[in-house]
Structure 1
Amino acid sequence: MTTYDDYGMPVGAYSEPESLTHQALRVARAFVLYRVRPRWRQVMGGSWSWRRMSSVSRVLVLLWVVMMYWGERTVFKNSIAECKWENWERWSDDANPHRLLLIADPQLIDPHTYPGRPWPLDTITVKLTDNYLRRTYSRIQKVLYPDTEIFLGDLFDGGREWSTRTSKSPEERYRKYGTSFWLKEYARFGNIFFAHWRDGGDLPRPGQPGRKIISSLPGNHDLGFGRGIQDQVRKRFNAYFGDGNRVDIIGNHTLVSLDSVSLSAYGQENPDQVQALWKPAMEFLDGVKTQKQRLVQEELRVQRGLKRTSPFMHEEIKADHLAKAALPKLSDTVTEFPTILLSHVPLYRAGGTPCGPLREHWPPTRPPKGQTSPLEHDDRNAISVSGGYQYQNVLDPRITKDIAEKVGNIAYAFSGDDHDYCEVVHRAYASAGGGIREITVKSTSMAMGIRRPGVVLVSLWNPVDEHGNPLVKDRSAPSLQTHLCLLPDELGILIQYGVFVVISLAVLGLRAFLIASGRISSNTSANESQSLLPTIKPNASSAETEKADLASPHHSNSSHHNPSFSNSSSTSDRGALLSVRNQNSRARSTSPGSYALPTAAGSQYSYPSVQQAGYYGPDDVSGKNGVKVWGASGDKGGKKVRKKGVALFIREFRNSVLKVAAVVVGWYLWLVWTG
């Protein structure tokens, strides 16, 4: 029974039309089913059944799939998993250390890095290095989940060269790059690091005050070095990343970040002419001890549940006493936290000071026979005490001395710039514990001249009372532990890919040669020669075929009147003979209801069977590259040329390479995109 709505319309008779999105999805699905999938099967040579899995192309594809998964997934997972905090931290069971990540010299590739590299090689280099930085950084966030991250400078490679409104690059070829280009590089840096900082989450770990990322420390590739710095370039950097001179209280440690590239102008010729460059850093150093004490007092008040600063006293001050009135100060007497110095340029050391066994590019020189201790002077393993255009490998000795004295109580120092790992103890400078232990952090980029980039993990554990006194019984025990976390050797992985490309091409070339020389057959050739009509055994002779035809009980003499048809099976050269079915075997009775055409009595002709229609026998006219075959579907004029010799080799090699490359490239892009 039909029901009607309030408007008199049958219920269910009408429905809303399809949305444009639904129609588009339906069309896309049809396109994939009826266009893409058949073409894909044609390119890949049919279905992937177990019977055909042993083909050369498929074996190579499987090997590529396994190798690329290892290179793009397994290696990255294993390298970061080896750096887990619990694998190397050696604190007591009740410890809850603050976990710090130090990143040095990402130095995003730009036109300044390889000025003579042509397109598209330069674009590929940028994509590879950016992808490596993004994947390793994201993996670190998910697996290691540090509480605080600090960059040690050289965020860009050519940041100092990009012009501002009032400044230009010293080099003519870079003057066309201005602030707009710098802003694109800033967005690119943010897409790699800032956008993936929360990949592991954004909530602080239990017992930690919160998560923090600090990227304000500049390097010589960001600003320049010493007198080469342009003030407008530095102001632009500080406006987006923050002041390079700062003090942070992290994990009951005082971290002092120093803009050492600007301060270095003080140690060069005629420093009075460039006071605007070094004076802010020098003024910061002059007041850093007071700032350290104030921040420690504020931190201890926060840990006790008090306000960070003392409240103002509500009292009346006479006008004549106003000039002598002082702002309220914290009166708490506290103990200073251990100080950690952060600088882009390493501190000064004598030439030949060895960097230790973890230095990759130049490992320590073997000591003479009979000596077990490492060399005290090793030029090969040391950071070179030298400089050049817009760089200096170590700070000036006078500036280093001022830093040690004015900052005071420096227990540890971390720096960048050198791209390789270096660990030294500066015993020439007064500090906490008889020397400053400095670690120069490896570059995190795969394009900085080292095979294994890295980061340094720092575990901070310094429990204190309300006055800042350590609660640990052993006051000489270190409050800081470090670990060098090595990242994957991407260059080595790419080299392995390159070697396997050569092997794959050689294997496919050998296969094509064997097919062209007739030693083996290919699926393509077999598919070409296969007829759409029923066939008999290829080895059957014409006599056997004729005998089988004559032995048929329904044999008619129509074949005697069609010699071209009766001889077709013997003259065919396509590797598979046509199986001729006698026309009488298909004939129907002339009784009522049948559809067969009757044969006229006494007629010498018979009606031809369906399989004879349109068949003119084989064409054995040879072309230039092979034999032309009639009746091949999809060919112009009904002919298809069977390749031979060099032409067959080229076709087989090209098709097999395309089959393998189609899967391998797609698989690689998916691994990289989702990695």
Structure 2
Amino acid sequence: MSWSPGPRRTDILRVPLRLITPRRNIASVLKVAWVIVLWIGEVGVFWRAAAKCQFPVHLDGVPSHKVVLIGDPQITDPYSYHRRGVLQWVTEFYSDLYMRRNWRNLMKRRKRNRVDTVIFMGDLMDGGREWEDDAYVSIADVSDLVIQSGCQRYLEEAKRFKNLFVAPREDVKFIYMAGNHDLGFGNGVTVARQDRFAAEFNLPNQIFDMGNHSVVLLDTVSITSQDANVRAAVETLLNQVQDTQLPRILLTHVPLWRDDATDCGPLRQASDTITQGNGYQYQNLMDASMSTRLLTTVKPDLVFSGDNHDYCEIVHSYQANGERQATEITVPTFSMAQGLLRPGVILLTLQNPLDTNAPSLASSTYSRSTCFFPDQVNIFINYAYIALITIIIIILTLLRRHKTQNVYRMLKRNNNAFRLPLHLLPRRDPQNSVAERTLNLHHNDSDDEQASDDSDDGFSARRSRFDARATSGIFVAFRKEYWALLLRDVSEVAAVAVPFYVFLLVWNRFR
């Protein structure tokens, strides 16, 4: 068999560049990675959080009444941050979307979490107290909306709130507590706002039974008003409270008074506790005297409050036919826009069999669990990190392509100077492997003799000049072509990631 020479160097240099730098493969990997990341960030983490939310059961075989307590939804409106235009719309969209999908994920697990009652702990709307019932008011200073009826805007916001929290079944009972953002606080409360809240939601003062427990719902934002007409309803209800054999639960929007050093427990996310303070239309705690009055009049075993937006659990001691204690739990906010990184909800299971001589709450007639939802801000930050990593990967890929391309150009000009790596050579018959490794051989003897006459010093000098020109070529090409190529590759990945993200937003909004 006759020997055949290896391929000429110029033939080897025609190897397609895409076989060396698989740009398309890297772009495909980035596209798939973004689809996975977005699905996890917009769907997966929320499903997982809802899956962890389970009603506790402490008495097997005993009928239970399951209650969801939602603290301070406080839907964002023009009074929240005084933003305008697109920025205001984006803020409302994402805060509503966060509550909507957490609520629906929680309710969709109805086989395990069959809800009987949902209690909202007040502050349903952020600017509810600001939408006046006067004929026409101008709100152009806080939004892009035209002059319109304050009452009409209140009704629109109330409808928006109810669309966020749709009952999973017709027999689920919704109970709404009035908060300072709904009515105001103290002397800021008006009878018109109370009537409007009662007409659109329910009476802010009630006594009712729930799961063989007596529940007292109090409008504690109105009880300190100096206007007798504003205080009339809550004072009337307090006078109607009677002793009962059932365990009693007190619902108040404003937490009861406690010492400043009182610890809120390990589930609180803020480093500080709840201390007394006040400002425009709010007060952090009920006064000490009013708190004592409420405890001794209602005689609760369990107290739920809102307003603070963060979890807090303490124990009150008070005198009512002897020494008694009541555990107060402040329900965390349900909204991502109220300063809490991980909003939450409390799941309460009431089990009080009436044939056991009405045991107290200390005898386990209730159990509860606290469920926290994903940190939406952290999800956005993770998106930013992954976007940065994506750009870095694309930049490194472009640098590699530029370097390889310039090396090829230099080799074309210096056919006799260097050898290509073996992995760049096309596959040939194994019998010709010796020829493939000898890139300096040419078809004629004169070329062979010329190549063998090159000294080591001459080779090194030419190699140095080649490296310098190749490196220089890299940066010249980098300056001229980098931004266009970077924009092209980023756009190629974004063309998949952005539409998929929009699809997930729309799906979460309307499903």
Give the TM-score category using the shorter length.
Answer: 0.7 to 0.9
1:114 corresponds to: 81
Please tell me whether residue 164 in structure 1 is matched to residue 133 in structure 2: yes
SS of the residue corresponding to residue 356 of structure 1 reads coil
Deviation at 1:672, TM superposition (A): 2.8
Native 8 Å contact 2:23 2:397 kept in 1: no
Deviation at 1:648, TM superposition (A): 2.9
2:158 corresponds to: 186
Please tell me whether residue 351 in structure 1 is matched to residue 260 in structure 2: yes
1:469 corresponds to: 357
SS of the residue corresponding to residue 482 of structure 1 reads strand
Structure 1's 173 and 669: CA in aligned 2 closer, same or farther, altered over 3 A?
Answer: closer
Q: Deviations over 1:367-395 (max 9, x none)?
A: xxxxxxxxxxxxx3x20111111110111
Partner Cα distance (1:169, 1:352) in 2: 44
Native 8 Å contact 1:416 1:442 kept in 2: yes
2:294 corresponds to: 403
1:152 corresponds to: 121
Native 8 Å contact 1:106 1:443 kept in 2: yes
Structure 1's 182 and 469: CA in aligned 2 closer, same or farther, altered over 3 A?
Answer: same
Please tell me whether residue 275 in structure 1 is matched to residue 247 in structure 2: no
1:417 corresponds to: 307
Deviation at 1:228, TM superposition (A): 1.2
Partner Cα distance (1:171, 1:399) in 2: 39
Structure with higher helix content: 2
Partner Cα distance (1:173, 1:459) in 2: 42
Unaligned runs of 5+ in 1: 1-50, 203-209, 266-270, 294-334, 363-379, 522-538, 540-642
Partner Cα distance (1:494, 1:432) in 2: 53
Of residues 486, 504, 507 in structure 2, which corresponds to 1:674?
507
Deviation at 1:498, TM superposition (A): 1.2
Please tell me whether residue 504 in structure 1 is matched to residue 337 in structure 2: no
Structure 1's 166 and 400: CA in aligned 2 closer, same or farther, altered over 3 A?
Answer: farther
Structure 1's 510 and 476: CA in aligned 2 closer, same or farther, altered over 3 A?
Answer: closer
Amino acid at match of 1:500: I
Structure 1's 416 and 510: CA in aligned 2 closer, same or farther, altered over 3 A?
Answer: same
Native 8 Å contact 1:154 1:222 kept in 2: yes
Of residues 60, 67, 71 in structure 1, which corresponds to 2:37?
67
Deviation at 1:461, TM superposition (A): 0.3
1:229 corresponds to: 189
Structure 1's 248 and 669: CA in aligned 2 closer, same or farther, altered over 3 A?
Answer: farther
Native 8 Å contact 1:517 1:645 kept in 2: no
Native 8 Å contact 2:84 2:142 kept in 1: no
Of residues 26, 34, 37 in structure 2, which corresponds to 1:56?
26
2:48 corresponds to: 78
Amino acid at match of 1:648: E
Structure 1's 431 and 452: CA in aligned 2 closer, same or farther, altered over 3 A?
Answer: farther
2:205 corresponds to: 245
Deviation at 1:444, TM superposition (A): 0.5
SS of the residue corresponding to residue 674 of structure 1 reads helix
Larger Rg: 1
SS of the residue corresponding to residue 301 of structure 2 reads strand
Partner Cα distance (2:28, 2:138) in 1: 54
Native 8 Å contact 2:70 2:334 kept in 1: yes
Q: Deviations over 1:484-518 (max 9, x none)?
A: 11111111111101111122223223434554566
SS of the residue corresponding to residue 378 of structure 2 reads helix
Partner Cα distance (1:168, 1:288) in 2: 40
Native 8 Å contact 1:99 1:147 kept in 2: yes
Of residues 178, 181, 195 in structure 2, which corresponds to 1:218?
178
RMSD between superposed Cα atoms in Å:
2.9
Deviation at 1:54, TM superposition (A): 5.9
Deviation at 1:232, TM superposition (A): 2.1
| TM-score normalised by structure 1 residue count | 0.57
Aligned pairs for 1:176-575 (under 5 A) are 178-194=150-166, 197-198=167-168, 201-202=169-170, 210-215=171-176, 217-265=177-225, 271=226, 274-289=227-242, 336-362=245-271, 380=272, 382-408=273-299, 410-430=300-320, 434-465=324-355, 469-470=357-358, 476-515=362-401, 519=405
1:24 corresponds to: none
Native 8 Å contact 1:223 1:229 kept in 2: yes
Native 8 Å contact 2:126 2:182 kept in 1: yes
| TM-score normalised by structure 2 residue count | 0.75
Deviation at 1:172, TM superposition (A): 7.0
Aligned-pair identity (%): 35
Deviation at 1:662, TM superposition (A): 1.9
Please tell me whether residue 127 in structure 1 is matched to residue 93 in structure 2: yes
2:487 corresponds to: 654
Partner Cα distance (2:64, 2:494) in 1: 49
Partner Cα distance (2:361, 2:309) in 1: 34
Amino acid at match of 2:260: G
